[in-house]
Amino acid sequence: MGCGGSTPTKEDVSKQRSTQQQHPPQQQESPCLGLEDDYKFKQKLGQGGTGLTYLAEDRKTKELVAIKLIKRPLPRVLEQNILREIVIQANLGEGHVNIINAFEAVLTETHLALVMEYAACGSLTSYVANRWQVAQHTGLFLSEDEARFFMRQFIPAVDYCHKHNVAHRDLKLDNTLLSDDNPPLLKLCDFGFARQWEGQSQMFTHIGTPVYMSPELINSRNDQKGYDGKLVDVWAGGVLLIVMLLGTFPFDHTENPDPNSQEAHLEVWMQQIKSDWKEIPHIKPSLSKLSDEVKLLLDRIFKVNEKERITIEGIKEDPWYSAPLPPKYIEAEENIAKQQRKVEEQCMQRALNPALLQRRTQELQTLVSAGTSSPLKVAGETRRPTLRAPEQRVDLREESVIGSGNGPSSRISMINGPPNNLPSVTEDGGEGLDASRHAASANGTARS
Ligand SMILES: Nc1ncnc2c1ncn2[C@@H]1O[C@H](COP(=O)(O)OP(=O)(O)O)[C@@H](O)[C@H]1O
Ligand SMILES: [Mg+2]
Q: In terms of domains, do 323 and 385 share one?
A: no
Closest residue CA from atom 19 of ligand 1: 48
- pLDDT by residue (tens digit) across 230-285? 999 999 999 999 999 999 999 999 999 999 999 999 999 999 999 899 999 999 99
The answer to whether residue 442 sits within a structural domain is no
pLDDT (0 to 100) of residue 351: 58
Strand locations in 189-248, DSSP E? 195-196, 202-203, 227-228
> In the predicted model, is pLDDT for residue 190 greater than 80?
yes
Q: 109: CA distance to ligand 1 center in Å?
A: 22
Coil, strand or helix at 11: helix
Integer Cα distance of 66 and 54 in angstroms: 6
Can you give the three-state secondary structure of 44-90, one letter per residue?
EEEECCCCEEEEEEECCCCCEEEEEEEECCCCHHHHHHHHHHHHHHH
User: For a substitution probing ligand 1, which of 190, 433, 436, 438 has the most ligand atoms within 8 Å of its CB?
Assistant: 190
Which atom, in ligand 1's list, is nearest to the CA of 48?
22
Instruction: Report the pLDDT value the prediction gives residue 404, as an integer from 0 to 100.
Output: 40
Q: Report which ligand 1 atom has the smallest distance to the Cα of 52.
A: 22
418/54 Cα distance (integer angstroms): 32
Q: How far is the CA of 48 from the centre of ligand 2 (A)?
A: 5
Distance of alpha carbon 448 from alpha carbon 342, whole angstroms:
40
Statement: residue 73 has pLDDT above 80? yes
Q: Give tens-digit pLDDT for 194-217.
A: 999 999 999 999 999 999 999 999
The rounded Å distance from CA 232 to ligand 1 centre is 21
Establish if 285 belongs to a structural domain: yes
189 within a domain of the structure (yes/no):
yes
User: Which band of pLDDT confidence, cut at 50, 70 and 90, is reported for residue 441?
Assistant: very low
**Is residue 225 a known part of a binding site?**
no
Question: At 346, is the pLDDT very low, low, confident or very high (cuts 50, 70, 90)?
Answer: confident
Average pLDDT, the chain: 84
Q: b/e string for 38-49 if b means 16 or more Cβ within 10 A?
A: bbebeeebbebb
- Given this model, what pLDDT does residue 2 score? 52
Distance CA 163, CA 219 (A): 26
Return the percentage of the chain with pLDDT > 70, whole number: 81
379 located within any domain: yes
Distance between CA atoms of residues 107 and 365, nearest Å: 12
* Residues 84 and 130 both lie in one domain: no
**Which residue, by CA, sits nearest to atom 25 of ligand 1?**
174
DSSP string, 326-351: -HHHHHHHHHHHHHHHHHHHHHHHSP
Ligand 1 atom having least distance to the Cα of 46: 12
Return the ligand number nearest the Cα of 125: 1
Contact between 270 and 210 under an 8 Å Cβ cutoff? The reply is no
Q: The CATH number of the domain where 278 resides is what?
A: 1.10.510.10
> Separation of 47 CA from ligand 2 center, angstroms?
8
Which one is predicted more confidently, 221 or 447?
A: 221
* Ligand 1 center from residue 174 Cα (angstroms): 7
Within 6 Å (CB) of ligand 1, which residues are found? 45-46, 48-51, 53, 66, 68, 100, 116-119, 122-123, 174-175, 177, 189-190, 192
The question of whether 170 is a catalytic residue gets the answer yes
Confidence of residue 405 (pLDDT cuts 50, 70, 90): very low
Q: Which domain holds residue 18?
A: 1-121+339-436
- Which pLDDT value is given to residue 87? 94
| Residue 14 pLDDT | 37
Note the pLDDT of residue 102. 96
- What pLDDT, in 10s, does the model give residues 359-377? 889 999 999 999 999 888 7
Residue in 39, 84, 31 with CA at minimum distance from that of residue 57: 39
Mutation to probe ligand 1, out of 43, 52, 53, 97 (largest number of atoms < 8 A from CB): 53
100 and 141 inside one domain: no
Nearest CA to ligand 1 atom 17: 190
Tell which atom from ligand 1 comes closest to the C-alpha of 85.
Answer: 21
Please report the pLDDT score of residue 406 as a whole number: 41
Tell the residue nearest (CA) to atom 5 of ligand 1: 122
Mean pLDDT to the nearest integer, 67-96:
94
Catalytic residue among 170, 174, 228, 233: 170
Q: Which of 39, 45, 99 to mutate to test the pocket of ligand 1 (most atoms within 8 A of CB)?
A: 45
Residue 25 has pLDDT above 70, yes or no: no
At residue 53, does pLDDT exceed 90?
Answer: yes
Confidence band, pLDDT 50/70/90 cuts, at residue 352: low
Residue 444 lies in a domain: no
Q: Among residues 197, 204, 122, 210, which one has the least CA distance to residue 170? A: 210
CA distance 103 to 247: 33
* C-alpha atoms less than 13 angstroms from C-alpha of 314 in its C-beta half-sphere: 14
Which pLDDT score is estimated for 399?
A: 42
- Which ligand 1 atom lies nearest to the CA of residue 100? 1
d(CA 416, CA 350): 9
| Mean pLDDT of the region 82-90 | 95
In a domain, 359, yes or no: yes
Q: Are residues 270 and 238 in the same domain?
A: yes
In the beta sheet, which residues pair with residue 53? 46, 68
Split at pLDDT 50, 70, 90, the class of 83 is very high
**Mean per-residue pLDDT for 83-105?**
95
Whole-number Å distance, alpha carbon 172 to ligand 2 midpoint, is: 8
Q: What is the signed CA dihedral for 414, 420, 423, 428, rounded to 10 degrees?
A: 130
Domain tally, the chain = 2
Residues 76 and 147 in one domain: no
Among all bound ligands, the one having the nearest atom to the CA of 42 is 1
Radius of gyration of the chain (CA): 22
Residue 339 in this model has a pLDDT that exceeds 60: yes
Find the CATH number of the domain harbouring 50: 3.30.200.20
Confidence of residue 328 (pLDDT cuts 50, 70, 90): very high
Residues 346, 268 within the same domain = no
Cβ atoms of 4 and 132 within 8 Å: the answer is no
pLDDT at 15: 37
Q: Is the same domain home to 391 and 248?
A: no
The residue nearest atom 12 of ligand 1, judged by CA position, is 46
**pLDDT at 315 (0 to 100):** 98
Say if residues 59 and 39 touch (Cβ distance below 8 Å).
yes
Distance 174 CA to ligand 2 centre (A): 6
Q: Same structural domain for residues 136 and 197?
A: yes
Reported as a pLDDT band with limits 50, 70 and 90, residue 435 is very low
The answer to whether residue 447 is domain-embedded is no
Nearest CA among 66, 63, 40 for reference residue 54: 66
For position 446, what pLDDT does the model report? Answer: 27
